[in-house]
Structure 1
Amino acid sequence: MITRLLKAAIDFRGRTRRRHFWLLVLVVVGIIGGLSQPADKLDDSDPLVVLLYILIPIGTLLVVISGIRRLHDVDRRGWWILLVYTLCGPIWLLGYWFTDSTVGPNRFGPDPKNRHPREDPQTIARPPQSEA
């Protein structure tokens, strides 16, 4: 299970559910936030500060990769992550990250919830009407 999670953490392909994305964000923010509180009072050569210098880019990269996979889950390309650099982009991205996933498979892979799209009522064959 751990190898599957690690492989998914560095793979841009596929889809990520909301629960997994927000759990990863919570863990990364919790670890970095928890370590940065005591490191606030230390100098740059302290091992805890050096550990933070290593963990912050790794955590950021993991969240970005998972964010791209989350965008895939709502049928958006990963390039939409660049919206974070615009004025209203972060709000737009939050909307996509909180949106439920596309039901059924999309162009980025199968539905991680294993749901199947319902049949469209307009495409269901109707019985022929009798001419009365």
Structure 2
Amino acid sequence: MSLMFKPLRRYADFQGRACRTEFWLFQLFIMILAMAFVAVLVTVTIMNPTEKGEEPPVAFTVAVLAAVVTYLALFIPRLALIIRRLHDSDNSGFWVLVSLIPGLSAVMLVFSLLPGTVGPNGHGPDPRGRGAPTTRQATMTLDSVA
């Protein structure tokens, strides 16, 4: 559970690495928040239907404002987490710019699913606490790929 909120504690920390568990638990947290906001908006809309040309109820406006503020507040920690996740597989954080190109968001999905490098890499120590692979482990890994 602490991994779910670790990106909030490291709010604007773009250095270091983040493991897959931390990344996906934070995505789950964001999804739960989004579903809660949708549930509130649907409930408010059903309870207070508006006629054409009529202003929406105050509760609807407040819920939308709260959702927007929450999204903006979570934008920086989410971006930092994505960059730290890229660092875990020893990639540059600039790969996040690929997601701005329409149709290439799947590249970021693949990067988030890939396991991180074992042991320290150019971006810091392994977040899972694993040491550098021994020669035998590296050989076994290469043999299993072939």
TM range (shorter): 0.7 to 0.9
Separation (CA, whole Å) in 2 of partners of 1:38 and 1:88 = 31
Separation (CA, whole Å) in 1 of partners of 2:88 and 2:57 = 40
Q: TM-score, normalised by structure 1?
A: 0.78
The equivalent of 2:14 in structure 1 is 12
Unaligned 5+ runs, structure 1:
122-132
RMSD: 2.3
The equivalent of 1:49 in structure 2 is 64
The equivalent of 1:35 in structure 2 is 37
Could you give the per-residue CA deviations for residues 21-80 of structure 1, whole angstroms, max 9, x where no partner exists?
110011012102221233253738532221112011222332221111100101011110
Separation (CA, whole Å) in 2 of partners of 1:23 and 1:76 = 21
- Matched-pair contact (CA < 8 Å) for 2:11–2:76: no
Separation (CA, whole Å) in 2 of partners of 1:56 and 1:44 = 22
The equivalent of 1:77 in structure 2 is 92
Could you say what secondary structure the match of 1:9 adopts?
coil
The equivalent of 1:58 in structure 2 is 73
Q: Which runs of 4+ in 1 moved over 6 A?
A: none
Q: Larger deviation: 34-43 or 76-85?
A: 34-43
Q: Which amino acid aligns with 2:16?
A: G
More helix by share: 2
* Among 112, 117, 122, the residue aligned to 1:97: 112
User: For the structure 1 residues 86 and 119, does the alpha-carbon distance in structure 2 shift closer, same or farther, using more than 3 Å as the test?
Assistant: same
Q: TM-score, normalised by structure 2?
A: 0.71
Separation (CA, whole Å) in 2 of partners of 1:94 and 1:12 = 19
- Matched-pair contact (CA < 8 Å) for 2:10–2:77: no
- Matched-pair contact (CA < 8 Å) for 1:44–1:50: no
